[in-house]
Amino acid sequence: MQLSADALSFVQSGVSILVAAADGEGRPAIARAVGCRAVERSGRLLVVLRADEGAELLAALAAGSRIAVMFSRPQTNRSLQVKGDQVQVAPLGPRDRDLPRRYLAAMDAELRPLGHGGRFLEAVLAVEESALLAVSFQPCLSFDQTPGPRAGHSLAAQP
């Protein structure tokens, strides 16, 4: 599936990103991502994970788990969940080294009005303290996850 231009812009903006996978026994693993970008032409998404925080998640992905990623904008609660497969994990490439720093800046702009920016946000994301990995996947499904009765409704695939 192809995400809409609006969705693509949303997932690459200052939004909270949580990633989930399932291990061989069907147990869930969760981790926070510190940046996302769309991979040109392939339609794939790439999210940045801290290696030390996401060990179980990375192990599940390495064992072949599919992936679920939620993007949520703190100021509006607008949320989108994208599920995908064909997951690849690789060291952060040269062109993505700057992604976490840009993500931090975008999140800071988003969270400052809510009083959670600055040093607090740096403590939460702790991107300086860890090795970073790029996790890319092919989106298959997407869901409107904005809180409310319609949360979880499938979004029609865009042409």
Partner 1 sequence: MSSPPRLGAIRACFEGVIPVGIATVAADGWPNVTYLSQVHYLDEDHVALSYQFFNKTRANLLTHPVAELQLIDPTTGRSWRLTIRYLRTETAGPLFETMKAKLAGIASHSGMAGVFRLLGADVCRVERLIALPGEGLTPRVPPAALLPALRGSVARLAAAGPLDAALDGLMQDLEQRFRVRHAALLLPTADGQRLYTLASLGYPDSGVGSEIAMGQGVIGVAAREGTPIRIGHMTVDQAYARALKDQAGTGALENEIPFPGLASPGSQLAVPVVDAQGLLGVLFVEDPGELRFGYDEEDALVVLADALATRLRRGEAAPVRPRRRAPATPARASGPPLEVRHYAANDSLFLGEDYLIKGVAGAILWTLLRARQDRGREEFTNRELRLDPALRLPAHAENLEARLILLQRRLAEKASGLAIEKTGRGRFRLAVRRPVRLLEM
How do 28-38 and 45-50 pair as beta strands?
antiparallel
148 near partner 1, judged by CB under 8 A: yes
Give the amino acid at 78. R
CB of 95 to partner 1, least distance (A): 26
Print the binding letters for residues 86-125 with partner 1: x by CB under 8 A, - otherwise. Answer: ------------------------------x--xxxxxx-
When binding is defined by CB under 8 A, the residue of 72, 87, 103, 110 that contacts partner 1 is 72
Three-state SS at 63: coil
> Six-digit token pair at 149?
């009765």
Size of the site for partner 1 (CB under 8 A): 43
Beta carbons within 10 angstroms of residue 151's beta carbon: 13
Judged by CB, which is closer to partner 1: 8, or 30? 30
Q: Which of 26, 47, 25, 27 is nearest to 37 (CA)?
A: 47
Residue for token pair 């969760």: 30
CB of 121 to partner 1, least distance (A): 7
DSSP secondary structure letter of residue 4: -
Judged by CB, which is closer to partner 1: 5, or 23? 23
| Angstrom distance (rounded) from CA 36 to CA 134 | 9
| Angstrom distance (rounded) from CA 31 to CA 23 | 14
Print the binding letters for residues 20-49 with partner 1: x by CB under 8 A, - otherwise. Answer: xxx---xxxxxxx-----------------
Beta-strand runs (E) in 39-121: 45-50, 67-72, 79-91
18 near partner 1, judged by CB under 8 A: yes
Residues found near partner 1 in the complex (CB under 8 A) = 18-22, 26-32, 50, 52-53, 65-70, 72, 77, 79, 81, 83, 116, 119-124, 126, 129-130, 143, 145, 147-149, 151-152
